[in-house]
Amino acid sequence: MIKAVLFDMDGVLADSEEFICEAAMKMFEEKGLTVKPEDFLPFVGAGENRYLGGVAEAYHFDLGSMDDAKARTYAIYGDIIKGRLKALPGAVSFVKRCHREGWKCALATSADHVKMVYTMYEIGLPLDHFNACVNGLDVEHKKPHPDIYLEAARQLGVDIKNCLVVEDAVNGVEAARAAGARCLALTTSFSKDELKGADWFAEDLSALPEDAVKW
């Protein structure tokens, strides 16, 4: 029986991928390296350490302090999303439905806390809309490891087997499966074939299959 919904953030509630990519590219440019948007794709959903660090490694580039690189990327991100970043279709209404149905809600993102705050405030779903919020700094092992979803379920006091994870990334679907949760995969970032292993699929939360919440 479904008792809780665990939401990934990027690509599920907000389409922030192009903005964090834009911010990261500007950060690298400030450091003297020109990178391409496609360089970041293998690291989507794995947290900003891998998102930035993986690209730096691919170019054999010394990024210096990861904390400084992330701080600068987030500062750029916070500026460029203003008035541009919107909630994805169905996101706000589904979170509200969860509350009406009595399902607990958790935000579980590999992004750091500062990005989570910037993003959710901008789309009109600040953190007080969720019973628990877990970010990439709260767990040792990021997605595709199951830690973030297990921690979210623990904070909610709900068995992970009674949780629906909503994901959009390959790493996230693998994390949900490894945790033992059921998974709805949104094809906002990857194709259905790439997200194999999920229990249900939808273009976004406005096209939610009712089977995903009727079990």
Please report the pLDDT score of residue 111 as a whole number.
85
Q: For the chain, first and last CA: distance in Å?
A: 5
What CATH topology corresponds to 4-14+86-213? Rossmann fold (3.40.50)
Integer CA distances (angstroms), 37 to 11, 23, 44, 204, in order = 16, 11, 11, 23
155 pLDDT band, cuts 50/70/90, is: very high
pLDDT over 90 (residue 44)? no
Mean model confidence pLDDT for the chain: 95
Domain boundaries, the chain: 4-14+86-213, 17-80
Report the catalytic residues. Answer: 8, 10
pLDDT at residue 32 in the model: 98
